[in-house]
Amino acid sequence: MSHHIVEVRNLQHVYSDGTAALKDISFIITHGESVGIIGANGAGKSTLLQHLNGSLEPTGGSIHIGHTPLSKGTLPDIRRTVGMVFQDPDDQLFMPTVYDDVAFGPLNLGYSIDDVEQRVTEVLELVGAGHLRDKPPYHLSGGEKKRVAIATVLSMSPDILVMDEPTNGLDPFARRQLMKLMKDFKHTRIFTSHDLDMVLELCGRVIVLHEGEVWADGPPLEIFGNSKLLAECRLEKPLSMQGCPVCGNNPAKDIN
Nearer to Mg ion by Cβ, of 64 and 194: the residue is 194
In which element (H, E) is residue 209 found? strand 205-210
Does 191 help bind another protein (rule: CB under 8 A)?
Answer: no
Does 41 help bind another protein (rule: CB under 8 A)?
Answer: no
Query: How far apart are CB 107 and another protein at their closest, in Å?
Result: 4
Query: How far apart are CB 22 and another protein at their closest, in Å?
Result: 17
| Burial of 227 (C-beta count, 10 Å sphere; 0-12/13-18/19+) | exposed
As a whole number of angstroms, the distance between CA 42 and CA 170 comes to 21
Binding part of the chain for ligand ADP, among 12-20, 62-70, 99-107, 200-208 by CB under 6 A, reads: 12-20
Interface with ligand ADP: number of residues (CB under 6 A) = 12
Nearer to ligand ADP by Cβ, of 5 and 21: the residue is 21
As a whole number of angstroms, the distance between CA 54 and CA 70 comes to 7
Does 43 help bind ligand ADP (rule: CB under 6 A)?
Answer: yes
**Which residues lie closer than 8 Å to 198 by C-beta, 6 or more apart?**
36, 167, 175, 179
Does 167 help bind Mg ion (rule: CB under 5 A)?
Answer: no
Task: Say if strands 205-210 and 213-218 run parallel, antiparallel, or are unpaired.
Answer: antiparallel
Does 113 help bind another protein (rule: CB under 8 A)?
Answer: yes
Query: How far apart are CB 246 and ligand ADP at their closest, in Å?
Result: 33
| Burial of 185 (C-beta count, 10 Å sphere; 0-12/13-18/19+) | middle
Q: Which of 210, 207, 212, 214 is nearest to 12 (CA)?
A: 212
As a whole number of angstroms, the distance between CA 67 and CA 72 comes to 15
As a whole number of angstroms, the distance between CA 3 and CA 28 comes to 12
Task: Say if strands 188-192 and 160-164 run parallel, antiparallel, or are unpaired.
Answer: parallel
For another protein, the binding residue among 21, 84, 182, 208 (CB under 8 A) is 84
Q: Which of residues 8-67 bind Mg ion (CB under 5 A)?
A: 46
Query: How far apart are CB 187 and ligand ADP at their closest, in Å?
Result: 23
For another protein, the binding residue among 31, 61, 74, 88 (CB under 8 A) is 88
| Interface with another protein (CB under 8 A) | 16, 50, 53, 55, 76, 79-80, 83-84, 86, 88, 90-92, 94-97, 99-100, 103-105, 107-109, 113, 116, 134-139, 152-153, 156
| Interface with ligand ADP (CB under 6 A) | 15, 17, 19, 21, 39, 41-47
